[in-house]
Amino acid sequence: MSSYSIAIQTFVHRFDKYFKPLMRSLCEARPDVDKVIFVNPQHKTGLDENYRKYMLMFASTCPRTYIISPPRVRGLAHMWNVCANYAQTPYVLNLNDDVTLLPGFFDHYEQMIAHQQEHGHESFRINGSFSHFSIYHQDLLDVGYFDERLLGFGEEDGDWLWRWEVSKGRTMRVFGTDRIVNHVDQSATNSENMNKYEGKYSKFNSDWIFSNKYQPDVPIDPNKPKAISLYGRPIQMRDGASTPDYYPTEKFYRENLHRL
């Protein structure tokens, strides 16, 4: 059994341009690695039936590919959590659907995993980005899951990294490679039918997290936890703010599945 699975979250407007070439490269390079694909509908319009049909047909040509798809749009935090839980490996390589993997990427990635085995297991970012990062599943149990109250897209990475840094007392490891290209697609179809900011992110997420969870514009209280995360300066949680325990039975499931 591989020490890692691969997870991708995708939607209709990236199917031909990005997703299909990415999947072909995955299936050719690592056919024996599980691939968990979350196919997200569009807000207000749902899942296009032709897209659903072609996605299932295409996915069936790639070994060890597992499709998840709800009837209504879900936020990125939810998709990351679900993919991580469905993957039954210690590590999950989480890839944006608008990346290109160059020859040799998996050799580099597996060297990163080997480094972890020698120096201690934990989640890590690749080239400093959450567009391509690796979740160590135990971190989700120790730190908590991505916050699913972020109903759209954006801020889920900074929130989780803040909690990770507070929990571990240090910054997360970053590994570098020149074997991946992040296209950072800025099409108008990103967050389609949602109120947006910065062109592609959900305004709801930004408004909610800084109104309800963090207070970036107040002096630091030396008696409360602080971290920099992706915010560029130390910030702290609001008094009384916390993150729900989204999947309290997942640890039990993993520890007891062998008893069935």
The pLDDT of 186-204, averaged and rounded, is: 91
Which is nearest to 107 in space by CA: 25, 29, 172?
Answer: 29
CB atoms within 10 A of CB 173: 15
Own/partner pairs for 79-84, CB < 8 Å, 24+ apart?
79/9, 79/38, 79/40, 80/7, 80/9, 80/135, 80/146, 80/156, 81/140, 81/145, 81/146, 81/148, 81/246, 81/247, 82/38, 83/7, 83/9, 83/36, 83/38, 84/7, 84/135, 84/137, 84/140, 84/145
User: What pLDDT is attached to residue 199?
Assistant: 82
Residue 25 has pLDDT above 90, yes or no: yes
The model's confidence at residue 171, banded by pLDDT at 50, 70 and 90, is very high
- For residue 129, the cross-strand partners are 126
pTM for the structure as a whole: 0.97
Please determine, for residue 1, whether its predicted confidence score (pLDDT) is greater than 80.
no
**Is the confidence at residue 76, as pLDDT, over 70?**
yes
Q: How confident is the model at residue 207 (pLDDT cuts 50, 70, 90)?
A: very high
Picking from 88-97, 155-164, 191-200, 223-232, which range would have the lowest pLDDT averaged per residue?
Answer: 191-200
Under the banding of pLDDT at 50, 70 and 90, the label for residue 217 is: confident
- What does the pLDDT read at residue 240? 95
The answer to whether residue 216 scores a pLDDT higher than 90 is no
